[in-house]
Amino acid sequence: MIEIAWNDFTPWSALLGGILVGIAAASFLLLNGRIAGISGILGGLLAPAKGDVIWRLAFLGGLICAPALWLLATDLPAIEINAGYPALIIAGVLVGIGTRYGSGCTSGHGVCGLSRLSLRSLMATLSFMGAGFATVYVIRHLLGV
Amino acid sequence: MKYSLASLFAGLVFGIGLIASGMANPEKVLGFLDLAGSWDPSLAFVMGGAILVGVFAFAIARKRTLSFLGFDIKMPASTHIDKRLILGGLMFGVGWGIAGFCPGPGLVALGAGEIKAAVFVAAMIAGMAIFEVIERNRANA
């Protein structure tokens, strides 16, 4: 039986944030004609083609500057990173290789792929969500970390 | 120029959305991935909200060949479900489950000045570089 963490449950801010993410992906698609896939936008910088660099940096710069923009209005919500440095490095390498190998991450396959009803993206999303659930189960409940 | 400005705008709004939603907080993400613990379903609402908007955007895009700024609309051509897609997804998911970061939130938390996020992002870029090297060697073999 699944036990819900009602104290942590924030459906309205999650929905609002999700709608903003959707608006971002929608504007990128309708203005620039592209899928807002963050791993692809970042990974493309490692094998850059001519004229293909500035817009990538602009998009990633927007992501990185979002907290500064947020701070103009109000305090940032908590960012709690409990993983240690070795875990963060292993996680980062796996996310880097995996998202490139699988041609996408939560944004490209999850948000954009599911929005355009792509079966390929659905399979990718089920793969990384399934692996995410399994990994947290192993770490928290089998290893007890 | 227009293209890059629109990219900057989309990146900013995307980042604000990730902060507002709670996805920029790895502990929140892990609370969602922890089905067997005390489960926080919030992040399903993030995905739901994003797709709610996305479905309309893609329905509009499908009827057009040019974007509103006059650029070609480029949809992913591949519909192939293969080993690369699934194994890549599984690898990504394991990394996501270890730290609670996927690429976007990692970059946002880096922008918030989190040293640990910077380490994650550096490792992620290293992982992407490893992929590039492997792919180039495969292409040359």
**pLDDT tens-digit readout, B24-47:** 999 999 999 999 989 999 999 999
Cα separation, B59 vs A130, whole angstroms: 28
**Residue tagged 């970042």 (tokens):** A42
Residue of B nearest to A145 (CA): B98
Residue to test with chain B: of A94, A139, A142, A145, most B Cβ within 10 A: A94
- Please state, for a pLDDT cut of 90, what percent of chain B lies above it: 91
- For A90-129, what is each residue's pLDDT tens digit? 999 999 999 999 999 999 999 999 999 999 999 999 999 9
Task: Report yes or no: A112 and B54 within 8 Å, Cβ to Cβ.
Answer: yes
**Which of B92, B102, B134 best probes binding to A when mutated, by most A CB atoms within 10 angstroms?**
B92
pLDDT at A145: 81
Annotated domain spans of chain A:
11-142
Banded model confidence at residue A140, pLDDT cuts 50, 70, 90: very high
Inter-chain contact B128–A97, Cβ cutoff 8 Å?
Answer: yes
CB contact under 8 A, B98 and A91: yes
CB contact under 8 A, B11 and A32: no
For residue B72, list its beta bridge partners.
B66
Q: How confident is the model at residue B137 (pLDDT cuts 50, 70, 90)?
A: very high
pLDDT of residue A49: 87
Token digits for B104?
């976007």
* Complex ipTM value: 0.96
A48/B contact by beta carbon, under 8 A: no
> According to the model, what pLDDT value does residue A50 have?
87
Res. A1: pLDDT tops 80: no
Q: Determine the pLDDT at residue A56.
A: 97
A25: left (phi over 0), alpha (psi -120 to 50) or beta: alpha
pLDDT given for residue A61 in this prediction: 98
Query: Is the pLDDT assigned to residue B22 strictly greater than 90?
Result: yes
Is the Cβ of A112 closer than 8 Å to some Cβ of chain B? yes
Q: Of all residues in chain A, what percent carry a pLDDT higher than 90? A: 94
Task: Please state the length of chain A.
Answer: 145
How high is the pLDDT of residue A104? 96
- How close B134 gets to chain A, by Cα (Å)? 10
- Give me the pLDDT at residue B140, please: 86
pLDDT given for residue A111 in this prediction: 96
State pTM to two decimals.
0.96
Which of B26, B38, B54 has the CB atom closest to A111's CB atom? B54
- A 62-101 residues inside an 8 A Cβ radius of B: 62-70, 76-83, 85, 87-101
Q: Does the structure show a pLDDT above 90 at B102?
A: yes
Mean pLDDT of all residues in chain B?
96
On whether any CB of chain A is under 8 Å from the CB of B84, the answer is: yes
